[in-house]
Chain A
Amino acid sequence: MLAHLPILQVIVPLMAAPACLILRKPKLVWLFTLLASSLAFIISILLLQQVMVADTISYELGGWSPPWGIEYRIDKLNAFIALIISGVSTVVLLAAQTSIEKEIPEDKQTLFYILYLLSLTGMLGIVTTGDAFNVFVFLEISSLSAYSLIALGKDRRALWASFQYLIMGTIGATFILIGIGLMYQMTGTLNMADLATRLPEVAETRTVTTAYVFFIVGVCLKLALFPLHFWLPNAYAYAPSIVTAFFAATSTKVAAYLLIRFTFSIFGISFSFTTLPMETLFLVLGLLGIFIASTVAIYQDNIKHVFAYSSVAQVGYMIVGFSLSTHAGLTAMLLHMFNHALMKGALFLALAAIIYRVGSARIADFQGLGRQMPLTMAAVVVGGLSLIGVPLTVGFVSKWYLVVAAIEKGWWWVAGLVLLGSLLAVIYVWRIVETAYFKAPMAGRQPVKEAPMAFLVPVWLLVSANVYFGIDTRLSVEIATAAAKGLFGVAQ
């Protein structure tokens, strides 16, 4: 049983998805989905434990040995990401039934859970597989279900946002397909470990450069790296609240994982950062993303938009860490991926609670909520503080590592700009806090009650994780450092 964990990680949610159709009753389906997601979470914990001891686990699908058969290869990096995805998914699901009761018609609720599980399958599949073409297939599984999930939003603009995402996402996925095709053409293999040994032999050719560029552009579209982020804000803002919480915490992490995996383990750091000017390119795009997206976030009226733009900015921080191309920089990036999942999960889930009670997430509706929904708003405040990077929250930990990594590399000005970017976050978080706590409720609006327990429990689970991992950083830092070390071990 334990030997089959890598495939179970993907198979459990995949098989659970069609099984939902048999259960039919939304409540039952919800419990079943929760069970499947928790199982995936437990599997990912077990896998992480295994790889912290043994270095990598290689699983041969159907007993066909790689590179001919498909291999699932788990190391510290993807075990860590799988843990983030399945963990957030499980916590978010706790609130799902209560939230979608108000947002999705009853006959579509079962379908919602099926799509949710398929999306989870896709993301976990991308992360666990060791086969380049498998990445594309799982990417499309997760994307197609994501488009449908977003289109379930109540507002008609959800449809348009979903369509725009479909066009952009398909272009991105096709670019990735071209990249993989070119790699196969040059090496005759699709196995990632095999690619890693064969690509350096042909690294001087233009085809390999083209393959890398196509692949990276495709991934950056999925990552919503500035300036390829246009699909993201509307998709997040008009999707059902639970979907937003799930995607904001996980989907960009998956794309970031692909970026790391292909740049560091497959093409190798000397190719991507020495032969190609990726360092400058990513640094500039990352910093531009931080500043432009944070500034746009300040002027948004819908709080979902505020946090969506803030997500684009947070991707910028990850990419800055990536562009440092040092062990410390990569550790900072991985930490930020973990921490960002915690804070955005908490914030969007708190927003879901507010939408459940108030019916909208416009800033004007936040007036007086500090009194009416004290626990939910307190969660927003802690999440916001974490977003800014205040000490004792996880946001501080990853920004600290990022700044230290930049200084270590001798890029003082980058460290300065990262800190300056955090000040912009202060502005948009303060706007929400000010409206919620210091403005009287709008005249004529019915006072609302505190959010139900179904929301408060998962929200506060994530919020306390924000604080816990902000104080006791041993676990997250140890895993991130070990994962980063593993990548540099392969690359050099």
Chain B
Amino acid sequence: MTTILGLYNYWIVIVLMMIGFYIIIAHGHLIKKIVGLNIFQTSVFIFYISVGKVEGATAPIWQEGIILYSNPLPHVLILTAIVVGIATTALGLALIIRIKEAYGSVDEDDIQAMDNQDMVNQDKEQQQC
């Protein structure tokens, strides 16, 4: 029981990860997919940050009389990953705007249906030639 509760940070990570993953798979709305992706990535950020924490240690700023510091490296790494995550989100949203302009919809099923329709139309054109 103590190990399960003691490792609560990992449980949070796993639960968040699965929520994010589920949203990506189950939702057809493109913006919701991006939100899911964000939650999914955030869970990994939390994982890295909690890995760097040393019990009973302080923030890694040098100070007289303190000997135990948390590991700053994972925090720095995740700063980079957060930037990457923002770039991905921005690009995803920009694509959604373009998709909305081109298809008039932001729903996966609608877009897929229109794509299939495009294929059928092209075949017809071909036969008329």
Chain A nearest CB: distance from B83 CB in Å? Answer: 9
Q: Which stretch from A154-162, A249-257, A424-432 is at the chain B interface?
A: A154-162
A140:B118 contact, CB within 8 angstroms: no
Please report the C-alpha to C-alpha distance between residue A345 and residue B16 in the assembled complex, in whole angstroms: 42
Say yes or no: A157-B115 contact (C-beta < 8 A), given A170-B37, A185-B51.
yes
Residues of B within 8 A of A166 (CB): 88, 91-92, 95
A-B contacts besides A137-B84, A157-B118, A171-B37, 19 pairs, CB < 8 Å = A133-B77, A140-B88, A144-B87, A144-B88, A144-B91, A147-B95, A159-B99, A160-B99, A160-B111, A160-B115, A163-B30, A170-B37, A174-B44, A181-B47, A181-B51, A181-B74, A301-B123, A362-B126, A444-B129
Residues of A within 8 A of B123 (CB): 301
Chain A nearest CB: distance from B73 CB in Å? Answer: 8
Q: Does A364 contact B (CB under 8 A)?
A: yes
Chain A nearest CB: distance from B61 CB in Å? Answer: 20
- A sample of 11 cross-chain residue pairs with beta-carbon separation below 8 angstroms, ordered by A number, consists of A144-B84, A156-B102, A157-B118, A159-B99, A159-B102, A163-B95, A170-B88, A173-B84, A181-B44, A184-B74, A443-B129
CB-based nearest B residue for A68: B73
Please report the C-alpha to C-alpha distance between residue A136 and residue B44 in the assembled complex, in whole angstroms: 13
CB-based nearest A residue for B87: A144
Q: Does A151 contact B (CB under 8 A)?
A: yes
Chain A nearest CB: distance from B118 CB in Å? Answer: 7
B84:A178 contact, CB within 8 angstroms: no
Please report the C-alpha to C-alpha distance between residue A235 and residue B37 in the assembled complex, in whole angstroms: 20
Please report the C-alpha to C-alpha distance between residue A163 and residue B98 in the assembled complex, in whole angstroms: 10
Number of interface residues of B (CB under 8 A): 33
Q: Does A310 contact B (CB under 8 A)?
A: no
B81:A177 contact, CB within 8 angstroms: yes
Please report the C-alpha to C-alpha distance between residue A441 and residue B65 in the assembled complex, in whole angstroms: 86
A177:B98 contact, CB within 8 angstroms: no
Chain B nearest CB: distance from A222 CB in Å? Answer: 15
Residues of chain B touching chain A, judged by Cβ–Cβ distance below 8 Å, are: 21, 24, 30, 33, 37, 40-41, 44, 47-48, 51, 74, 77, 80-81, 84, 87-88, 91-92, 95-96, 98-99, 102-103, 111, 115, 118, 122-123, 126, 129
| A209-258 interface with B by 8 A CB criterion | none
Please report the C-alpha to C-alpha distance between residue A24 and residue B95 in the assembled complex, in whole angstroms: 24
The 8 A CB mask of A265-300 against B (1 = contact, 0 = none) is: 000000000000000000000000000000000000
A178:B47 contact, CB within 8 angstroms: yes
B95:A159 contact, CB within 8 angstroms: yes
A163:B88 contact, CB within 8 angstroms: no
A162:B95 contact, CB within 8 angstroms: yes
B44:A178 contact, CB within 8 angstroms: yes
Q: Which residue from B30, B91, B126 sits with its C-beta under 8 Å from A147?
A: B91
Q: Does A442 contact B (CB under 8 A)?
A: yes
Residues of A within 8 A of B118 (CB): 157
Q: Which residue from A151, A156, A174, A181 sits with its C-beta under 8 Å from B40?
A: A174
Residues of A within 8 A of B99 (CB): 156, 159-160, 163
Number of interface residues of A (CB under 8 A): 32
Residues of A within 8 A of B81 (CB): 136, 177
Residues of A within 8 A of B103 (CB): 156, 159-160
Chain B nearest CB: distance from A465 CB in Å? Answer: 35
Q: Does A99 contact B (CB under 8 A)?
A: no
Q: Does A148 contact B (CB under 8 A)?
A: yes
List 6 tightest A-B contacts by C-beta distance, closest first: A156-B102, A140-B84, A163-B95, A159-B99, A185-B51, A159-B98
Say yes or no: A362-B122 contact (C-beta < 8 A), given A133-B77, A184-B51, A184-B74.
yes
CB-based nearest B residue for A444: B129
CB-based nearest A residue for B33: A167
A170:B95 contact, CB within 8 angstroms: no
Residues of B within 8 A of A133 (CB): 77, 80
Residues of B within 8 A of A136 (CB): 81, 84
B84:A163 contact, CB within 8 angstroms: no
Residues of B within 8 A of A364 (CB): 126, 129
Chain B nearest CB: distance from A179 CB in Å? Answer: 10
Chain B nearest CB: distance from A1 CB in Å? Answer: 30
Residues of B within 8 A of A162 (CB): 95
Please report the C-alpha to C-alpha distance between residue A301 and residue B126 in the assembled complex, in whole angstroms: 11
Residues of B within 8 A of A144 (CB): 84, 87-88, 91
Please report the C-alpha to C-alpha distance between residue A452 and residue B77 in the assembled complex, in whole angstroms: 48
CB-based nearest A residue for B74: A184
| A119-164 interface with B by 8 A CB criterion | 133, 136-137, 140, 144, 147-148, 151, 156-157, 159-160, 162-163
CB-based nearest B residue for A442: B129
CB-based nearest A residue for B98: A159
B87:A140 contact, CB within 8 angstroms: yes
Most buried by A among B41, B88, B102, B118: B88
Chain B nearest CB: distance from A302 CB in Å? Answer: 9
Say yes or no: A170-B33 contact (C-beta < 8 A), given A140-B84, A140-B87, A178-B47.
no
Chain B nearest CB: distance from A366 CB in Å? Answer: 12
Say yes or no: A151-B95 contact (C-beta < 8 A), given A157-B115, A181-B48, A181-B74.
yes
